[in-house]
Structure 1
Amino acid sequence: MSSSTSLTTQVVVLGGGPGGYTAAFRAADLGCEVVLIDDRPALGGVCLNVGCIPSKALLHAAKVLSEAREMQERGISFGAPTVDIDALRGWKDGVVGRLTGGLTGLARKRKVQTVVGVGRFTGSHTIEVADDDGRTTTVSFEQAIVAVGSRPVRLPFVPYDDPRVFDSTGALELRQIPKRLLVIGGGIIGLEMAAVYHELGSAVSVVELAPQVVPGADADLIAPLAARISRQYDAVWTSTSVTAVDATPSGITVSFSGESAPATAQFDAVLVAVGRVPNGGLIDAEVAGLDVDERGFISVDSQQRTNVGHIYAIGDVVGNPMLAHKAVHEGRVAAQNAAGQSSGFDTTLIPSVAYTDPEVAWVGMTENTAAAAGVDVEVGVFPWAASGRSLSLGRDEGLTKLVVEPQTGRILGAGIVGPAAGELIAEATLAIELGALAEDVALTVHAHPTLSETLGMAAEVWEGTITDLYLPRKKV
């Protein structure tokens, strides 16, 4: 039987992902009364529940399998691994549960009231929340922070009602380990899931519309990853489109258009990972007077304020890149402004990481973006084939690159490919944030032998002072 209740609060946060719960907790810490609305009983949004965290748990398992296999060539054999999918799924779910449980406790300690259900604006100061049981809650607010995130893009010709076809959320459920798996989309999400299923035993094929996997990243960063997966996977088709997907009793038949791909091929399962679309068009934002574009994005200023002065927006719904760490910082900014402080989000330094094998990470200006903007840059590239630490790991295909302003020596960007690239990119991000010169990084004493010293060596390459390589002498 349906029922309705009402709440009144100073600040309401619509969406409980990393940006949303950060905003709610920060506003509460600043003394605001806060209501947090989310359509999941467990806080954390897509990232924690069905995205970043569970995928990294499975990628760790995949890495263990890969390293165990590769060590056989170096004299250590563990025998053929056996994988208990139910136990692996349970461990992954346990990691998620531990974190979501922690968030519930943090909300309770801060006296943040949570309301579970789908929220939509019914006015400029009201949101109605409907739960699965037909109950509604009307939340009246003084300030609002919209953090409703994004959802996977759905291709119109794909039979999603067939259990053999799934998106990234379905892939993380580990319902099956198909013998033949096609991944449609060679971006970060698609390649991360491809890595997991490859190590669990699937024969993987990847199809990508762009000329390279991980479109947008510099080609030299992607080359080691592309070379490795081309050896490991059944096929990697780039510059290729999918024109039809048909479910048949014997498998999923996929039609392709591209020079290297076959006209058709059959698979046991298909994972669709072709991007995400913002949820700004699903919350009746126009009722509150919010401007939402045709794609579902909500525009904001540097204070995360929308065109409606008392409503803020953060995360995926305000624009690319759709990354949790961007949403978290935007959430703090929005909460502080809603609480009466003056705060702004003014950085463009948002690192991107593909947790593939090898990992790929970049931050700041790339060679691609510099060329598109007509900015003159130089690069210092240190190959990991000259890194003792990399060789000791049995991996020599990586590289570290700094993008430098020639006139000043200021670091404008960085890219790293290799094991732990996602961890290493932090030093480069801080260096750029602080306005460091390549000389500053080169003069910083890094521990040896480490992968982190490749950043200092890349700076030395640009300076022309490198001794671990022999390069043509550079005029100083």
Structure 2
Amino acid sequence: MNYDIIVIGSGPGGYVTAIRASQLGFKTAVIERENLGGICLNWGCIPTKALIKSAHVFDYIKHAEEYGLNKVEGSYEFSNIIKRSRGVADKMNKGIGFLMKKNKIDVILGNAKVKAGKKVDVTDSEGKVSEYSASHIIIATGARSRVLPNLPQDGKKIIGYREALTLPKQPKSMIVVGSGAIGIEFAYVYASLGTKVTVVEYLPTIVPVEDEEVSKHLEKSLKKQGIDIMTNASVEKVEDHGEGVRASIKTSQGEITLEAEIVLSAVGITANIENLGLENVGIATDKGRILVDDFYKTNVPGYYAIGDVIPGPALAHVASAEGILCVEKIKGLKVEPIDYGNIPGCTYCSPEIASVGMTEKKAKEAGYELKVGKFPFVASGKATANGDTDGFIKVIYDAKYGELLGCHMVGNGVTDMIAEAVAIRRLEATAHEVLTTIHPHPTISEAFKGATEAAYGEAIDL
């Protein structure tokens, strides 16, 4: 069983890599130990968005009178919300299976272990081991929920994101440890459905990678929704007390104790590089990640790695881009390394947040003279008509050349708008070109131009 390319893992990195490889004429196989589509399609990006949509619909029902509609007594079955989410994931999983067949990609089910000589052993569910070989082996095994020593997950009362997607009943209270995208999204979903949620964040602001103004605005919005937020705080230990858990939390004012039915640990991820045979092949790693060059070659010829197993942002769209670039380089196409300074990030709570490029603080630290503009959605006709004016768009330009250094958005719908800023940065367009680009009215997207107008003292609607 010899292939041109074997991809280990079928998440958004792996399956996209395999499809592009097949398009380029490579005989390709994918090895998957669990479900086609990986964590993103089955236990991450997609099913969480299904839960978030249910929360959004329930929010609309609760506020029906604000839209001139008769008051609706909204109710729900928690199990049906979970069932819909799993159904969406199942549909996407079947879609990946269709794409594998369409692109004539062999799917090999089992646990993979790389060997020297560009070979891979695969152990199936019955323990049978089969050997495969390829000219190029690409590792795309993704990551899993990070487990802290003082926060061991039992899958019942101290859980990770997988259990949060399939809880048998809705908890009355929940402590979310960590305020990155995963923690904040689950905090929003459960709070919207009536769970009493407390978010505990070690750093001074929630969603700490975001611009400080966005972080502060989101914190204010989430608190209005009834979510308690503790920053500069850490969970020291968690004890089971029968009906729920008791968490000891260290704060700047001293240690306090909180009780809840469930603790959700959302403190990051750990790359899946164990038991892959890396040490037998001699593939170099550092701090739990596989080391690669600009085109994802490891230090051993014929072996590559992409996605969450390598250093860099652990995002589905990044893994997909890395995989495509990797196989195009193997093919000999003229390609350029990815610009990791132009990667969009999105969090799908309500309001949503989306960003790309430098924060204002980082841009100042880099020595740029700035032109900064903000456009609040309260000044947007479309947002007002939508009945949701929470949030703003913030743009950061280099005053000297008009280069867009960063864009930061908070508000519903912004995750579908950030690509404009990414494209502008990719094409090296200037503020002048944004100002002379006609945006459709009435749309939320007008706010991007409005923020740019504000940065240059040309604001029309402010």
| Alignment TM class, shorter chain as reference | over 0.9
Question: Is residue 310 from structure 1 mapped to residue 302 from structure 2 by the alignment?
Answer: yes
Contact residue 383 and residue 444 of structure 2 kept, 8 A: yes
Counterpart residue number, 1:446: 439
Change (3 A) 1:326 1:261: farther
Counterpart residue number, 2:319: 327
1:224 aligns to what SS in structure 2? helix
Contact residue 322 and residue 338 of structure 2 kept, 8 A: no
Question: Is residue 119 from structure 1 mapped to residue 107 from structure 2 by the alignment?
Answer: no
Distance, in Å, in 1 between the alignment partners of 2:441 and 2:216 is 27
The correspondence for 1:291, drawn from 280, 284, 287, is 284
Alpha-carbon distance, 1:402 to partner:
1.2
Contact residue 118 and residue 303 of structure 2 kept, 8 A: no
Question: Is residue 181 from structure 1 mapped to residue 174 from structure 2 by the alignment?
Answer: yes
Counterpart residue number, 1:20: 14
Task: Quote the RMSD (CA, aligned, Å).
Answer: 1.7
Counterpart residue number, 2:154: 161
Distance, in Å, in 2 between the alignment partners of 1:286 and 1:372 is 40
TM (norm. structure 2) is 0.96
Contact residue 410 and residue 438 of structure 1 kept, 8 A: yes
Distance, in Å, in 2 between the alignment partners of 1:74 and 1:101 is 38
Which moves more between the two structures, 43-52 or 336-345? Answer: 336-345
- Count of equivalent residues: 461
Contact residue 159 and residue 246 of structure 1 kept, 8 A: no
Question: Is residue 130 from structure 1 mapped to residue 117 from structure 2 by the alignment?
Answer: no
Equivalent residues in 2 for 1:241-280, closer than 5 Å: 241-259=234-252, 263-280=256-273
1:18 aligns to what SS in structure 2? coil
Question: Is residue 34 from structure 1 mapped to residue 7 from structure 2 by the alignment?
Answer: no
Change (3 A) 1:64 1:315: same
The correspondence for 2:379, drawn from 354, 376, 386, is 386
Question: Is residue 140 from structure 1 mapped to residue 133 from structure 2 by the alignment?
Answer: yes
Alpha-carbon distance, 1:262 to partner:
5.8
Which moves more between the two structures, 48-57 or 26-35? Answer: 26-35
Q: Deviations over 1:433-466 (max 9, x none)?
A: 1111111111111111211000111111112111
Distance, in Å, in 1 between the alignment partners of 2:222 and 2:177 is 15
Alpha-carbon distance, 1:73 to partner:
4.1
Corresponding letter in the other structure for 1:269? I
For structure 1, which runs of at least 5 residues remain unmatched after alignment?
1-6, 470-476
Which moves more between the two structures, 277-286 or 171-180? Answer: 277-286
1:195 aligns to what SS in structure 2? helix
Distance, in Å, in 1 between the alignment partners of 2:149 and 2:226 is 27
Over the matched positions of the two proteins, sequence identity in percent amounts to 35
For structure 2, which runs of at least 5 residues remain unmatched after alignment?
none
The correspondence for 1:412, drawn from 400, 405, 411, is 405
Alpha-carbon distance, 1:9 to partner:
1.5
Alpha-carbon distance, 1:178 to partner:
0.5
Distance, in Å, in 2 between the alignment partners of 1:443 and 1:342 is 33
Question: Is residue 76 from structure 1 mapped to residue 73 from structure 2 by the alignment?
Answer: no
Corresponding letter in the other structure for 1:142? S
Alpha-carbon distance, 1:341 to partner:
3.2
